Amino acid sequence: MLGQSLGRFIGAAPPAGHGPHRYFVVVHALDVASIGVPADATPAFLGFAMSSHTLGRAVLTATAETPRAGEDTERIEVSRLIPAPASAVFAVLTDPKGHVDIDASGMLMDAEGRPVKQPGDRFLVHMDRDALGDVPLGKYDVEVVITKLTPDEEIAWTVEGRVRPHARHIYGYRLEPTEGGTRVTSYYDWSEITEEWKQRLTFPVVPESAIKATLGILERTVRRRIAA
């Protein structure tokens, strides 16, 4: 939100229980050192003054959510504008080895399987839990099971390991074509985790910082694949 008397961003404050709100930070590169806009100018005046001097711009998207009183937040969402078509982003996300390429947690070592095409498809991932250091699992294998897949729009999956019953935590991406490319939202939802699993592990297993980093690596991976 903008402080009306401060003239600056003073932090995100969405209403409690209103769900995730998106916040856009737009950075402009200008061809002059100053455009002579006073500090109390309106956003409309600032935009008009910049329009003839803008060389380029970048858009950073973040989300924030305020839970209701007494309500725990069991979902993380992070967004980023990636300057590429949705089809190019989706090609990475449906490729088992693409998941290894963009992993920021350090746990994914390798993957086996064909690109996924529909809910129910699976592929094998070789893991190394020592990267997180939270539990002494070492190296092990899991299966990624696709729970939702709409081409070029959304993909989600859960992970099944050797321990039964499986922990039902969901990872996913939503893709939204927009000016300059595709707005990609990565989410991690552990609202379906049973009490048994909550006693075994601390959730979220993957921190928000790693999810943010994965989006940056995703952009780099998409750029490289397009250029290849």
- Give residue 64's domain range: 1-73
pTM comes to 0.67
What's the confidence (pLDDT) of residue 169?
A: 84
What's the confidence (pLDDT) of residue 173?
A: 97
In the three-class reduction of DSSP (H, G, I as helix; E, B as strand; rest coil), residue 60 is classed as strand
What's the confidence (pLDDT) of residue 67?
A: 65
- Domain termination site, one of 43, 73, 103: 73
Residuewise pLDDT in 10s, the chain (228 residues): 444 445 566 667 777 767 778 788 889 999 999 998 888 888 888 888 988 999 998 988 877 777 665 555 788 899 999 999 999 999 999 999 999 999 988 888 999 999 999 999 999 999 887 766 556 667 889 999 999 999 999 999 999 877 666 777 899 999 999 999 999 999 999 887 777 776 776 677 778 888 899 999 999 999 999 998
Let me know how many helices (H) and strands (E) the chain has, helices first: 5, 9
Amino acid symbol at 152: D
- Domain termination site, one of 73, 105, 127: 73
Residue 69 and residue 89 in one domain: no
Residue 7 and residue 92 in one domain: no
Residue 96 and residue 193 in one domain: yes
98 in any annotated domain: yes
79 in any annotated domain: no
11 in any annotated domain: yes
Distance from C-alpha of 157 to C-alpha of 93, rounded to nearest angstrom: 11
Residue 88 and residue 58 in one domain: no
